[in-house]
Structure 1
Amino acid sequence: MGEPTIRKIIHVDMDAFFASVEQRDDPALRGRPVAVGGRLRGVVAAASYEARRFGVRSAMPSATARRLCAELVFVKPRFDVYRDVSRQIREIFLEYTPLVEPLSLDEAYLDVTTNLRNMPLASDIAREIRARILERTGLTASAGISYNKFLAKIASDHRKPNGQTVIPPEKGPAFVETLSVAKFHGIGPKTAEKMKGLGIHTGADLKAQSLDFLEQTFGKAGTWYHRIARGQDDRAVVPDRPRKSVGSETTFMEDLARPDEIERGVASVLDDVWSWCERTGTRGRTVTVKIKYADFQIVTRSRTLAAPVASREMLERTSVDLVRSIFPLEKRVRLLGVSLHNLEPDGAQATQPQMTLAF
């Protein structure tokens, strides 16, 4: 038996995707700090690089973003446009490999160990894909190239925007040692803080910990941390990954205070969820309602049904019944969301498109 083939993985990540689409389509926004999201309520869905210089970031409350940047321009999201552009980008990926694993509208893994163009260098493939994306969409992308998904994702962020970074096998473990654990994909802010309290600041610090210690301290995730600290990640690039849930939520311009307002609010967010179910021929058994109060406390209510939700009316009845469990209201509500889980095909009509070697 020969030595196992070293994989060539590319992680492509669009640069400030939503904001860049808005700047592309409206010349008046170019060069200005732009936030996609609600100006008065809600959170920033995306921020242009001009806005990021002021500290504006995605998932930041809009009010905080306005305080950081007085000149910030808020733009209402156009998800239909973003999805169309994402499909164009996906078509480009599939010209090089069928092994494309989308993570979201603006990023994906590609396994190009063998590829449809018979190109020997993954770095050349990434460079060509980025050029094709720019030519077709007018948008820039960054790419990371390495021998596994973990390192490819880290690498794609290394020279943003409009750049690419290669981490070859012989340099992977040493590269990881120099990084702050806060930059590791899969280590969130709370875990990074916990590690900091334990004296674990860098990949080298993490590597110095025993497997037993990491498992005792972090549970099952400890095994993962032990591996990535050594630059190891055996996860395959999996195309057509089944979707686990679908949901929609909205932040209201004014906090809701009456039960009838709450019930109408729940009904108002169902259209996106049900239209996706109809379009894909997919149904779900578990309905979940998310409630965010004015003080930002979040509660959820869920119900798993004996059979999949068969109609929009059934989804609305179940959702409204769930939200009634918080009555009488103790405080105002600023956000409501509805999601479906335990998805399965609706009979025969379901189709769910999902969307050392030289490097």
Structure 2
Amino acid sequence: MGNNEFSSESQFTRRDLHLLSQSSSKSPLRVIALIDFDCFYAQCEGVRLGLPPSQPLGVQQFLHVIATNYAARAAGLKKVVTAAEAREKCPEIVLQHVPTWREGDTTWRYRDDVREHMNSDKSSLDYYRLQSRKAIQIVKDALPATSRRIEKAGIDEVFIDLSIPVYDVLVERYPELLACESRLPKPLDIIPKWEDDQLVQCEAENEDENPEHDTIDWNIIALQIGSEIVREIRKKILDDLNYTCSAGIAHNKVVAKLAAGHNKPNKQTVIRKCCTGSFLSGYKATKLRGLGGKLGRQVVTTFCVETISDLLRFPLKEMQAKLGTHAGHWVYHVIRGFEDSEVVQRTEIKSMLSAKTFSPSITGVDQAERWLRIFAADIVGRLEDEEGRRPTTIAVHHHIQGRFGPTRSKQAQIPAGPTLDTELLFKLSMELLIKISDETPSWPCLTLSIGVSHFRDVDKSNHLISGFTTPGKWSGSASEGQLYTSGMAKRSLEEPTSNDRPRKYTLLDFQGFSQKPDKVDQTSCPTDANVASHISGREITASDSDRLRRAGKQTVQDSSTATPDAAGLYCCPLCSEQIPDNSVLEHLDWHVALHLRDQG
């Protein structure tokens, strides 16, 4: 390694290095970072308005201030307050109201007359989502596409697994590491350059107890390389967007999360393994990621302590006895800084809702129509964050007496072929609302909303099932055979993706539909024995389609596992989707089409 000398062997092995190259959560060399934007909403507005950071600023949503910058916090505004309270405590504060939607609008916008329309406008956070997407794209662009592993933890937070990028730099700088067959040599004269990083120090009384204290090994070198990468990313965000952000760099997500908030604003904190214990000991247990909710409250109540330092005295067996085997094991280790959850590429949402409570109530379909268009545009804007995922179900929820009164809802499948835009969601929701309105007196209405759910992965080559035989795009309104309030719409042949199907299915997989997927009898077969003996054990072909339909129909009719739930829905054993009884055969056709496509 050039002029660097090595002494005795390192505590790390070639296997640890290999696990690092695979982004394995089991590698003791792994490097995890959390980038956290400083006062994100307020910073977005400060940059947009061209205000200096020294100017107190708050982001207002109707009567309340929901976010403030550091200058306003220095004046005592450290939590959500009313706009009047904010002006009283900090007379020089600038209050910027969030963008809003207004009845009849086609997009959100900033307005000067929000106060006069508080009862009718709908707040929008789309500007902040847009800025978040820009910032996260900078993070993505800074990392090699082949080794990029990031997880959006919130609109202003992103986890990054830097293990592979760190490995690449490590072996480039020190190629001799690749020549080691077992234990790595221990670096002697490599001095990490931390620049402006904030290093948490170990407590003096613990130094003699911790043999790793002040020793340089490859885990520290890996953290230092990770800090270089994060520093460059933060600089790029500042140069391109003028946003500052803080960061935490550690060996796991829990510690990195705490570290990111340890020295705000605009700093990055590195937590070395030897200092993890002293770093965590001063925190309340409920500050740890994973202990902020029900489990954290249970821990505090059960052991009658709040700080991690006090919690450390309880042995593993006692924690498992009082919290349960799994939870007790996890809590015991996480308060000591041991945690190995992976950075997942995406945290998948299950549904989206856009709603408005009206004051006064709206009085008819014509007035509701303008709001449905706003809800549709709101959802479409938020779907941009989903990167290739789209919902397959839309629902309209109608409340005459408000959100806590009786709810009347109808839902439909979203056609898979056309572009999922505002116009499509609007047309579907309008037809559902008209059905609700036609069935029973519905006006005036106090609360109205659109929800989308059942997300699936799709790609740009999205086609209808009819694309196998009929060229051209989907056209026509939802009422022209495309809207099913109790049935299945045509689906994309790109759903689910091939990555979700590790093998080809045979007819034996189509054994019927049950109320719950885990109750499907895996030994039962379709009642059409000829079909089963002819097809089972091989891939489904076009010639099997009709027989598959008949076998599926017979299975639904005769199989003891084919029991609908209270709503008359069956559960597909392949995709676990709830299927109306009159759409089971169409659903089977869709699965067949997927197999035909994959077979070319």
Fold agreement, TM-score > 0.5: yes
The amino acid of 1:200's aligned partner reads V
Deviation of the 1:112 alpha carbon: 1.6
Structure 1 window deviating more from structure 2 (120-129 vs 81-90): it is 81-90
Match of 1:126 among 196, 219, 230: 230
> Secondary structure of 2:55's match?
coil
Distance 1:72 1:286 in 2: 42
The amino acid of 1:110's aligned partner reads I
Match of 1:215 among 312, 319, 324: 324
Name the CA shift for 1:80/1:113 in 2 (closer, same or farther; >3 Å). closer
Query: Contact (CA 8 Å) 1:10, 1:126: kept in 2 or not?
Result: yes
Match of 1:34 among 38, 52, 57: 57
Structure 1 window deviating more from structure 2 (15-24 vs 190-199): it is 190-199
> Secondary structure of 1:94's match?
coil
Calculate the TM-score normalised by the size of structure 2. 0.47
> Secondary structure of 2:341's match?
coil
Distance 2:299 2:406 in 1: 28
Match of 1:112 among 162, 165, 189: 162
Greater share of residues in strand:
1
Name the CA shift for 1:231/1:30 in 2 (closer, same or farther; >3 Å). closer
The answer on 1:342 being equivalent to 2:445 is: no
Name the CA shift for 1:161/1:95 in 2 (closer, same or farther; >3 Å). farther
Distance 1:134 1:236 in 2: 28
Q: 2:68 maps to what in 1? A: 47
Match of 1:11 among 23, 34, 42: 34
- Listed as ranges, the matches of 1:216-295 within 5 Å are 224-239=330-345, 241=346, 243-245=348-350, 247=352, 249=354, 255-258=359-362, 260=364, 265-274=371-380, 282-287=389-394
Structure 1 window deviating more from structure 2 (313-322 vs 125-134): it is 313-322
Number of equivalent positions = 336
Task: Give a deviation string over 1:35-81, Cα, whole Å, max 9, x none.
Answer: 3342347x72x432233343354xx4xxx332431145123242464
- Listed as ranges, the matches of 1:44-193 within 5 Å are 44=66, 46-53=67-74, 54-57=76-79, 60=80, 64-70=81-87, 71-77=93-99, 78-79=127-128, 81-83=130-132, 85-94=134-143, 98-115=148-165, 118=169, 120=222, 121=224, 122-188=226-292, 192-193=296-297
Query: Contact (CA 8 Å) 1:13, 1:141: kept in 2 or not?
Result: yes
- Listed as ranges, the matches of 1:297-336 within 5 Å are 307-309=413-415, 311-312=424-425, 313-318=427-432, 332-333=446-447
The answer on 1:200 being equivalent to 2:305 is: yes
Distance 1:250 1:32 in 2: 34
Task: Give a deviation string over 1:240-274, Cα, whole Å, max 9, x none.
Answer: x263345353656x624245366754443111324
Structure with more relative contact order (C-alpha pairs < 8 Å, separation 6 or more): 1
Query: Contact (CA 8 Å) 1:20, 1:139: kept in 2 or not?
Result: yes
The amino acid of 2:322's aligned partner reads F
User: Structure 1: any 5+ residue segments left out of the alignment?
Assistant: 352-359
Over the matched positions of the two proteins, sequence identity in percent amounts to 24
Deviation of the 1:133 alpha carbon: 2.1
Query: Contact (CA 8 Å) 1:270, 1:316: kept in 2 or not?
Result: no
Task: Give a deviation string over 1:74-103, Cα, whole Å, max 9, x none.
Answer: 232424641453244324542595122222
> Secondary structure of 2:454's match?
strand
Structure 1 window deviating more from structure 2 (338-347 vs 6-15): it is 338-347
Query: Contact (CA 8 Å) 1:11, 1:145: kept in 2 or not?
Result: yes
Deviation of the 1:303 alpha carbon: 6.5
The answer on 1:20 being equivalent to 2:43 is: yes
Distance 1:269 1:227 in 2: 45
The amino acid of 1:55's aligned partner reads L
Query: Contact (CA 8 Å) 2:53, 2:71: kept in 1 or not?
Result: no
User: Structure 2: any 5+ residue segments left out of the alignment?
Assistant: 1-12, 17-25, 88-92, 100-126, 171-221, 417-423, 463-493, 495-600
Q: 1:356 maps to what in 2? A: none
Larger Rg: 2
Name the CA shift for 1:315/1:111 in 2 (closer, same or farther; >3 Å). same
Deviation of the 1:318 alpha carbon: 4.1
Distance 2:233 2:141 in 1: 7
